[in-house]
């Protein structure tokens, strides 16, 4: 066997690399198995941790996680950790509505990370107590829609688009024609209505008259400290402060056990391919789902 390996160094190197690869795969799956298994052990009273990370594109996974905590008798309270610039209006409203229902069953406390703006703030409104760091970026109470216009570029390369439509607004937002005054008025009325929905929820959840909110709902962002002064959050504090407060609401000790939702079952390709494409190609998979008005703090 030793003689065979000396004659075939490439075979030896391949077997060595393969063995190392299999070892790391085994480590990853073993760690994932124990993590997922221990995250849902319903022994003793616990505080559930619900993480909302990144742009809000789809509500499905978060709604499933809320249901997990609702059905776990060991989970006595939940901390929603928000680190999001917001996202699509529909999913933001879905998550917010479901969190409001959940908050009627178990205490819900919010901890804001580096950013909880626009839709991130909208979702956070469902919490009984809102914590933010002094430097957290929050606010951005507003709505945005954007439409690229490629008409001039397409004209330079000799490309034209012929449209047949049933009504004058059917191709509104088209990237191959200019906005008309009627288009702009229709879209502005829609944006104003969606914005008003946001303002009404802020007024309701923060117990502030709409008139008092007017200086703060023009899309501007705030630090956590500014947001507290404006009445948009309750306390300046860390994630641990929010956990302790949630435990107190649930009648638990100051050092509660934490439990996380069961990890979504995804293949290794599904886990890492979007990150690779985003990092090296600059393409955000799933961004195509974010069509229409957005509760989104956008930096162009």
From the DSSP assignment, how many helices (H) and strands (E) are in the chain? 11, 10
C-beta neighbour count of 88 within 10 angstroms: 22
Q: Is 118 a catalytic residue?
A: yes
Partners of 19 in beta bridges: none
How many other β-carbons are positioned within 10 Å of the β-carbon of residue 243?
Answer: 24
β-partners of residue 223 are: 137
Instruction: List the structure tokens of 156.
Output: 């330079």
Task: Give the Cα separation of 237 and 260 in Å (integer).
Answer: 21
Catalytic residue among 84, 118, 140, 244: 118
CA count, 13 A, side-chain hemisphere, 144: 20
244 is catalytic: no
Of 106, 144, 102, 105, nearest to 123 by C-alpha is: 102
**Residues 38, 170, 175, 180: which is the catalytic one?**
170
Residue carrying structure tokens 């923060």: 206
The H or E element spanning position 89 is: helix 89-103
Alpha-carbon distance of 172 to 166, in angstroms, equals 12
Query: How far from 154 is each of 69, 81, 175, 241, CA to CA, in Å?
Result: 52, 45, 10, 55
Catalytic positions are: 118, 170
């Amino acid at each position: 066997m030793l003689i065979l390996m000396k004659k075939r160094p490439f075979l030896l190197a391949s077997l060595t690399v393969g063995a190392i690869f299999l070892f790391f795969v085994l480590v990853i799956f073993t760690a994932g198995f124990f993590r997922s298994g221990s995250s849902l052990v319903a022994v003793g009273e616990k505080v559930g941790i619900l993480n909302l990370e990144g742009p809000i594109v789809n509500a499905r996974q978060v709604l499933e996680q809320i249901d997990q905590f609702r059905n776990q008798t060991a989970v006595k309270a939940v901390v929603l950790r928000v680190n999001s610039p917001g996202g699509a209006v529909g999913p933001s409203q879905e998550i917010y509505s479901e969190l409001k229902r959940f908050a009627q069953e178990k205490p819900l406390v919010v901890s804001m990370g580096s950013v909880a703006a626009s839709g991130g703030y909208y979702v956070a409104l469902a919490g009984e107590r809102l914590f933010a760091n002094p430097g957290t970026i929050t606010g951005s109470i507003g709505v945005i829609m954007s439409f690229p216009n490629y008409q001039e570029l397409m004209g330079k390369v000799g490309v034209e688009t012929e449209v047949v439509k049933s009504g004058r607004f059917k191709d509104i937002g088209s990237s191959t024609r200019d906005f008309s005054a009627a288009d702009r008025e229709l879209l502005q009325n829609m944006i104003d209505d969606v914005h008003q929905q946001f303002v009404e929820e802020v007024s309701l959840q923060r117990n502030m008259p709409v008139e008092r909110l007017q200086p703060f709902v023009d899309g501007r962002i705030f630090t956590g400290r500014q947001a507290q002064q404006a009445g948009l959050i309750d306390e300046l504090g860390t994630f641990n402060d929010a956990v302790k407060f949630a435990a107190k609401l649930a009648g638990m000790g100051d050092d509660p056990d934490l439990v996380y939702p069961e990890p979504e079952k995804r293949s290794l390709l599904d886990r890492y391919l979007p990150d690779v494409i985003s990092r090296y190609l600059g393409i955000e998979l799933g961004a195509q789902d974010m069509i229409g008005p957005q509760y989104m703090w956008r930096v162009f």
